[in-house]
Structure 1
Amino acid sequence: MNKFVESGLRVREPARFTMRKLLKLHCPTIRIRSPRSNVCDICAIYHAGIRGGVTADKTEELGRHTESARFMRREYKHDKTSWSSDHAVIVMDYSQNLTILSVSNTPSQWYFCSLFSVSCFGIYYENDGVQTNYIYDESTSGKGSDQINSMLAHFIETKLVPAGKTKLTVYADNCSGQNKNNYVIKFLLTLVDMGVFEHVDYKFFVKGHTKNSCDRGFGHIRKYMATAECWTMAHVIETVNAAASNSVTVHVPRGSELFKSYKSVMTELYKRLDGVQKYQIFSIDSAKPGVVACKKGPDSDAVEQDLRRKIDGILTAKEKVVRIMIDHVEVLPPPATNPEKREQMYKTIRPYVPDEFQNDTLGCQEEPRRTWNGSDSSDTEPYEKKKPAQKKRAAPSKKAADKPKKRKSPATTDAEEE
């Protein structure tokens, strides 16, 4: 085409559809991204305020927010390539909830029902590029700091400790109920006090700018599940495992001892860390036991806080931390089942499930009928109508009994009847 243009010949510009068709035919590896929108609420608020009138204060606030996000993104890219034989870099995040059931052609009735949710927690190991996905349903456990600490402890025990890692860098988003709270920070502090690691860095992306390595694996899972039919939990596990070749799936069934309760233990060992939400980086080093260095950004000054409790003038010792973490951490009990949801699943969802999977689908199993206890009269006859109690007439007073009754004359009676 360049030759025709240089020769001065008239060349008709190809249409966009034709160009895309030719690119797809001759360059199949090229992918054209669809337009993306900014998902940061703070940026949207700033832009909405600027539309009404641009001021220096609004522009500076937006600039500080985007600058901090850019600094943390630069820090993340640097840490992704700074792993070594003794330094582990991981990224952890929760995916959007999966569901049981999940089919390609969703019946319209399902949109008005609450299906069983399946949680997917991913830990991406930057050292080898493998993502570990922990899968469990809502009858097993919830999504909180205890679950985060339990799955993080399992990953460290099975992956990092055998590899001999002494330094750990963890990246997470800004969710205060799951990742960015005192309990997860105190758990990482116990790992240093117990001698599992010599140094731990816990870093957070700026809110709204949290794109990370786990999102790539979650995207493969959502794309694969959109075309798969998952009638049981086993189908969901197979689908998640087959979504990507560089992923490992760990299923946590109901009754498993993987989830443990850490909140009471963390509260007993350490004090509360003040101002968690205003910091982005938390550093813990074995040279300073019980001390957490907090920073608002990669280039800001660190503020140190000693979280060790002081009882009778004695600070929390490492021996106490080891003893309590080994002997006093209990298994987290599963949540109670929701009978109303199970009844809805049984009546509304079960007819759509194939016969061979009806007894394996969560919430669609047929439950034994309840037997009424004959000793309880209110249960044995729940629909029996009770006879209304007869009103007792009051006894006539002595004065009324002594007073003779007046008799009506026949004429008066006939007049009243008329």
Structure 2
Amino acid sequence: MLDHAFGTFCHQGGDCTVHADNCFGQNKNRYVIAYLSWRTMTNRHDNIKYMMQLPGHTRCLIDAGFGRIKQRYRREDIDTLQHVADVVDLSSCSNVSVVYGRDTWKWRQWKAFFGDRYKKVPNISKYHYFRFTSTDPGAVFMKISAVDTEETRFVVCKTNLLAMDSYDIPQEIMPAGLSRERQRYLYSQVRPLVRLQFQEEFCAVPAQE
């Protein structure tokens, strides 16, 4: 989804600043760091700044947007995916739903792609500011906070001295779809709870084997 956001909302090249909360599982891990480094190594950006919120300052406009969605969600009857999208769109003028589909974005095997090319950043938990530049490919510059003057340089890419092909991207992950067992469960156990006029849209009759 991060790659989709860059491809949709950013121009090729130039500088970019990204803000994120300090979540290790999602935002501060070896694969996100590798991905941002890869973007500068393949000339997708000249410079990227990646800044984490400091402890005690973790509330932001994104949280407010999700709060609006929750408020609207509690007051609505939801039977289909489109109903969920409508809740997001109606929750706030700044919230816009993006319904997943293969024409929307593609899941790719990023972890496998970066796994043997990039190293873990040591003591990553103490840093809140990361900088990547195409003039020093494969390296990340880190600071404990954005206002600190001292940077720590670490070569995160194992092949930083070799040119990286910009057209070399991970394979697409093809969605497997619902198993027959899951389809039968949705049809027999969940579909009866859906309002009658939306039951077919929510879950059609499973095809005969």
Distance between the aligned counterparts of 1:207 and 1:224, measured in 2? 29
Letter in 2 for 1:194: T
Report how far residue 165 of structure 1 moved. Answer: 6.9
C-alpha separation in 2, matches of 1:153 and 1:330: 13
Identify the match of residue 46 of structure 2 among 198, 208, 211: 198
CA distance in 1: counterparts of 2:161 and 2:98, whole angstroms: 35
Q: Which has the higher contact order (CA 8 A, sep 6+)?
A: 2
SS of the residue 2:135 aligns to = coil
User: Matches of 2:13 and 2:89 in 1, distance apart?
Assistant: 27
Identity %: 26
Given that 1:172 and 1:179 are in contact with CA atoms closer than 8 Å, whether structure 2 keeps it comes out as: yes
The aligned amino acid for 1:353 is: V
Tell me the CA shift for residue 305 of structure 1.
Answer: 0.4
CA apart distance, 1:369 = 4.6
Offset, 1:196:
2.1
1:224 Cα shift? Answer: 1.6
For 2:151, the equivalent position in structure 1 comes to 302
CA distance in 1, matches of 2:190, 2:167: 49
Secondary structure at the counterpart of residue 130 of structure 2: strand
SS in 2 for 1:190: helix
Q: 1:255 to 1:154 in 2, by over 3 A?
A: closer
Q: Please report how far the alpha carbon of residue 271 of structure 1 lies from its aligned counterpart in structure 2 after TM superposition.
A: 2.8
Distance in 1 between residues matched to 2:78 and 2:68, nearest whole Å = 16
CA distance in 1, matches of 2:179, 2:124: 34
Q: Which structure 2 residues correspond to residues 35-114 of structure 1 after superposition, within 5 A? A: none
How many residues align? The count is 208
Matched, 1:317 2:162: yes
Unaligned residue ranges in structure 1 (runs of 5+): 1-150, 371-418
Aligned to 2:204: 365
Q: 1:269 deviation in Å?
A: 3.2
Choose which of 71, 93, 115 in structure 2 pairs with 1:267.
Answer: 115
Are residues 341 and 176 of structure 1, via their aligned partners in 2, closer, same or farther at CA, if it must alter by over 3 Å? farther
Equivalent-residue separation in structure 2 for 1:333 and 1:208 (angstroms):
40
Q: Matched residues in 2 for 1:273 and 1:213: separation?
A: 29
Task: Indicate conservation of the 8 Å contact 1:252/1:258, yes or no.
Answer: no
- Which of structures 1 and 2 has the bigger CA Rg? 1
Unaligned runs of 5+ in 2: none
TM-score normalised by structure 2 residue count:
0.85
CA RMSD across the alignment: 2.6
Tell me, yes or no, if the aligned pair for 1:257 and 1:331 is still in contact at 8 Å.
no
Measured after TM superposition, the shift of residue 246 of structure 1 is 2.5
